[in-house]
Amino acid sequence: MATYLYKLGRFAFRRRHFVALLWVALLTLAGVGAASAPPAGNSSFSIPGTEAQRAFDLLEQRFPGMSADGATARVVFKAPEGQKMTDAGNKAAVEKTVKELGSGSEVASVADPYTGKAVSRDGTIAYASVKYKVSGMELEDSSRDALKESAGHARDAGLTVEIGGDALTTAPETGSSEVIGIAIAAVVLVITFGSLIAAGLPLLTAIIGVGIGVSAITALATPLDLGSTTSTLATMIGLAVGIDYALFIVSRYRAELAEGRDREEAAGRAVGTAGSAVVFAGLTVVIALVGLSVVNIPMLTKMGVAAAGTVAIAVLIALTMIPALLGYAGRTVKPAGEKSKLLGGGRAAKKAGRPNMGTRWASFVVRRPVTVLLLGVVGLGAAAVPAASLELGLPDDGSQPVSTTQRRAYDLLSDGFGPGFNGPLMVVVDAKGSADKKAAFAKVGDEIKGLKDVVTVTPPAPNKAGDTAIITVVPKSQPSSATTEDLVHAIRGKSASIASATDAKLLVTGATAMNIDVSQKLNDALLPYLALVVGLAFLLLIVVFRSILVPLKAALGFLLSVLAALGAVVAVFQWGWLSGLMNVEQTGPVMSMMPIFMVGVVFGLAMDYEVFLVTRMREAYVHGENPGQAVVTGFRYSARVVTAAAVIMIAVFSGFIGSSEAMIKMIGFGLAIAVFFDAFIVRMAVVPAVLALLGRRAWWLPAWLDRALPNVDVEGEGLRTDPDPDGDRELVSA
């Protein structure tokens, strides 16, 4: 592989005009496709295999036009101090608002508070329920604007009006966070390379790669049902790995220049060695992202595949466009150790002197491996302790900041009707096979009334055929509580006895039940996903490192860093530690998607650092150094750029901590702390300590397996034994 990539790097350097034109053409083509495509909507949301989804599907058949999974909104009214909602003036304002709410083209129905008994006992709070024909993810912005405008008219009449429900759900905007991340990345790259040109190359290629990937997603959004949220993960991961991959190739190029090679040869060798690591690191990220399909949530699968495509583009750009741009840059990209005139006065590289920080740290670890290993493992183990108390759930309006109208509406409804009113359960009774359908409906209602934690059970509402009915159940507890989850399971537990007595089927659905099912589905998929991703990457790393223990150590180190990161997330967002510093206004269960999302993203990035750092060590070992010295050599050449890459990633993810969205804040914190743990404790401390302790045993591989495995030559041994693998080198003046 190294020889092939060496030839590719030299070709891109020589034929830089062709390569640059090709990528510009692809960017233009993707941009034109995105511009001409219809506006991206939001993808349809379904959770195959869950009871809540089966109930929604049944309602679509038995209650045509009901839009069972359509968006809902609750417009909550509160009377001024000393007044009641039943006063004539207040009632007139509400009825006018209800009329306005029903005029939207996507509105299926609006329930009047006064005819639907939606006024609190003390008469101070009332609400109007709005049902839409489409889900909250598919609702047009014009419908949301009309909803807010109608509420504004009621406020003008003197009422306090707040809006809750999933109708206000929108894709979070992260543009400012991306800009902050890119700005910090630019500063880190300038410090790392000491040159504006060298620092600009990774940024430029990463932005081009993300531009092509996101534009392609936008162009294909309608035919492939890709929602507007699909590009968010692609942008985040594409930007991250795009900068990382280009950073390592440019760094290796400068190191080759420092060894006296001409620029074309340096570009070829940089792509042949660091490029091999880029290919395998990219494959681990792609495996992690495509592996999200095992969860069997279509939206999550599409997000993973789209992000994987963007990562593949980042790999191709790093292998081809970076050497082409290095050809254009010429002598403005200095050898390692030299600074540009603007930043360092054109200072030349030092011929000899004090070892760099990476060398000094690695030497210390090699001398004290047991101490470093124990400190690293114990520290991460302590951070992981809170993960034992992990509770999973999906955020609702109760987790929103108190400054939002959704949270204020949630609190008003809790005050007026009880906390469980924010998460009613929809019980669907399918009595098509029952001899006495009405008796079956009544039996279900009576059974549910006998359960604890139930406040209200509405009379059955049958369809026109009379074979299916809906019963609404209001719990005592808030939607995200464990008590409400127990109630859902208790109702479902009645299914067998109901079927035995009446031949009717009982299904529980609604937003609260759907959240519970999604959390359970994600929880059940975590171990299979982890086994798939880690297993495939383990096999891949065996090929890369030609070792059993090094890939095993990489996988175990990753698991340790993820557990520590989950522990930190639990401590902050569930227990409330440092919640003030993080501006966490409401603690509660950890978002159910967080563990599997963290595993996928962090695993890919962790393997990046593992491949880049350890392949340098493997290269030194293959070229004759003893195991301890190989560890030091790997750090001498790679620690600086791995540190820079990790700092960039931490900065990018930390930018999301400032988001007002609890979910985005949690993701940003979780990914940032996970990268910190993995890069600076696992890869920089645990890994060299383990390798120092193992010595030559770290690179042991059974002879039969060594013969069976393909020789991919990631270390570039073929380039060393054959000084001119291309055989037809043309010198190019730079």
In 463-519, beta strands by DSSP E: 468-475, 505-509
Residue type, 656: F
Give the pLDDT of residue 731. 40
Residues of the chain with pLDDT under 70: 38-46, 65-69, 136-138, 169-179, 181, 194-195, 222, 225-230, 232, 337-354, 395, 397, 399, 585-586, 659-662, 713-734
Phi, psi of 79 (to 5 degrees): -75, 150
Cα 252 to Cα 276: distance, rounded to the nearest angstrom: 12
Cα 281 to Cα 529: distance, rounded to the nearest angstrom: 19
Phi, psi of 569 (to 5 degrees): -65, -45
Question: Which residues, listed in sequence order, are joined to residue 517 by a DSSP beta bridge?
Answer: none
Give the pLDDT of residue 40. 53
In 491-638, beta strands by DSSP E: 505-509, 590-591
Which helix (H) or strand (E) segment is 73 a member of? strand 72-78
Give the pLDDT of residue 312. 92
Three-class SS state of 244: helix
Cα 271 to Cα 245: distance, rounded to the nearest angstrom: 11
Buried/exposed 400-417: b ≥16 CB within 10 Å, e otherwise:
beeebbbbbbbbbbebbb
Cα 360 to Cα 639: distance, rounded to the nearest angstrom: 11
Structure token pair of residue 30: 């993707």
Q: Do 359 and 274 meet the contact criterion of CB atoms below 8 Å apart? A: no
Give the pLDDT of residue 718. 61
Which helix (H) or strand (E) segment is 232 a member of? helix 230-258
Using one digit for the tens of pLDDT, what is the confidence trace for 85-133?
Answer: 888 888 888 888 888 888 877 888 888 888 877 888 888 999 888 888 8
Using one digit for the tens of pLDDT, what is the confidence trace for 384-435?
Answer: 999 888 877 776 767 677 778 888 888 898 888 888 888 889 899 998 888 8
Sole residue written with tokens 């495995």: 709
Cα 653 to Cα 665: distance, rounded to the nearest angstrom: 9
